[in-house]
Chain A
Amino acid sequence: MRMTGLPEPKIRIQNVSYAYDRKQVLRSISLDIPDRSVTVCFGPAGGGKTTLLRLINRLNDMVDGTSLSGTILVGGQDIYAADTHIPTLRRKVGMVFALPLPLPGTIRENVLYGLKVAGVHDRGHLEERLEISLTQAALWDEVKDRLDGMASALSGGQQQRLCIARSLALEPEVLLLDEPTSGLDPISTAKVEESLQQLKSEYTIVIVPHSVQQAARVADYAAFVLMGELVEHGPGKTVFTTPKDSRTEDYVTGRFG
């Protein structure tokens, strides 16, 4: 359903159902995700939120034994159309995972990996992207003197911001974050949440939070997913303070989860 009074949504998930190994994981989900804002996809564990995210950058293509019905449009284009060029899609729709996953190599190599496999070789351009992405991820000041040091030497929080910078280097349109702060201490978490607030002015951000509190902190729009079903969605304030569905209210107030 369209949220009225808003410009064309960046991502349109229409009637998406998804099964893995004959188990139904998502049931007929329809959701519009607006541009330049933070949309939170929250709910108890195992509900299908991560799966939903991974459908948007087609990362689930790497898994066998799945079946998908419905449509997903990103920027107006059906990403499951037969002629979709998947690497291009994944550069447009970046993803940050729950655990910091630095690639083997230096900080510079990590941030520029995406550009390298995209065939970008212009040194000047690469250095520029390196600085911009690390700045956007609130990491530049901490690593600018050791760009050629090993990424594995960074702390957990720094590594996670490195992963964010890595995706940003490709100048995506959408950034998907799957519980990005679940392994991080409160200070690192705050830094990541702060960078998201900066980033939303340029990107569409979809985040699976690791707690209801985080969801309430960062959400412009919120979608509550329970056992594969989209129970309720709307502006963040509404969903968290005056939810329409009793299940949403129970989860948000901590009666279950």
Chain B
Amino acid sequence: MNRYRVQQAGFVLLGATALAVVVPILLILLIIIVRGWPALSWEFVTAMPRDGMRAGGLFPAIVGTLVLTMGTALVAIPVGVGGAIYLSEYARDNWLTNSIRLAIINLAGIPSIVYGLFGLGMFVLFLRFGTSIVAGSMTLAIMTLPVIISTAEESLRSVPQEFRTVSASLGGTTWQGIRNIVLPQALPGILTGIVLGLLRAAGETAPILFTVAAFYLPRLPRTPMDSTMALPYHLYVISTQVPGMPESLQYGTALILLTIVLSMNVAAAFIRSYFRRRRQW
């Protein structure tokens, strides 16, 4: 009887800790929605800002965030997935491979503000891109690489070795096996990694602080060399630097950013489950 009660207590405790994880996210959503809701309107989302950001809409910031995310994807996906394929399928167990892995681990640990300064020094100044979408995207891409490479590599490794053996025994080259069998099977995991990585990129402030973000730019970016507004940076500035900013605008901006990030997450979940249904092992 005593042992049974102990087990019951254990279940309750563990259940409580699991619930405890959900509580913060619910609270965040609650507060942001309640305080940001009054600011939401069609104009808020689609119009250009006016009056030093105290009125008008967020449109350029939204577009800027989306453009930056796409730019990040353009660089981080090929390099990340390509690197993962190399590490998983071709690399031998030697010092070179181990150095690469070490480098990736270290990249993952670098604080985002340091990325921002790196981006400033490397892309904005040294390569003379100036404060631009290109500089911002490249900085964000490097920051996103470790996530994409790690998840993609793990996905590839989890595809059973038997498939590769069978492909080889039927006269397939390593690449043919990867292209026809391994990569399609690893797709759910790879896509998850990509979306998670891009999510982070979309929401980060520090890397774009010095590399691309403009505060009050009431027009859309015209070329990749343009700087642009972006939601995370925008939120930071209106919450700290602008006197007389109505609170609802701050929370409204946060709400928009949250909505974008969460919808990407939900889209990722759908993509994942679609491909998982087609998985064969």
Contact = CB atoms under 8 A, between A and B. Distances in A.
Bound pair: A and B?
yes
Interface of A: 57, 59, 62, 64, 87-88, 90-91, 94-95, 97, 99, 101, 103-105, 113-114, 116-118, 150, 152, 163, 166-167, 170
B280 A101 contact: no
Nearest to B179: A117
Given A117-B176, A152-B280, A97 B166 contact: yes
How many residues of B sit at the interface, in one of the four size bands?
20 to 34
B92 A113 contact: no
A64 B165 CA distance: 14
Given A64-B92, A104-B163, A117-B176, A95 B169 contact: yes
Given A104-B185, A105-B280, A113-B180, A87 B172 contact: yes
Contacts, number: 67
A94 B169 contact: yes
A91 B280 CA distance: 25
Majority-rule SS of B interface residues: helix
A104 B171 contact: no
B168 A59 contact: yes
Nearest to A88: B171
B16 interface: no
Contacts of A163: 166
Contacts of B180: 113, 116-117
A101 B169 CA distance: 12
Contacts of A95: 169
Given A101-B162, A104-B163, A117-B180, A62 B168 contact: yes
A103 B92 contact: no
B167 A87 contact: no
Contacts of A152: 280
30 contacts: A59-B168, A59-B169, A62-B164, A62-B168, A87-B171, A87-B173, A90-B170, A91-B171, A94-B169, A97-B166, A99-B162, A101-B163, A103-B163, A103-B166, A104-B163, A104-B184, A104-B185, A104-B279, A104-B280, A105-B280, A117-B167, A117-B170, A117-B171, A117-B172, A117-B173, A118-B171, A152-B280, A163-B166, A166-B170, A167-B169
Contacts of B181: 103-104
Nearest to A95: B169
Interface string B21-52: 00000000000000000000000000000000
Nearest to B92: A64
A40 B281 CA distance: 32
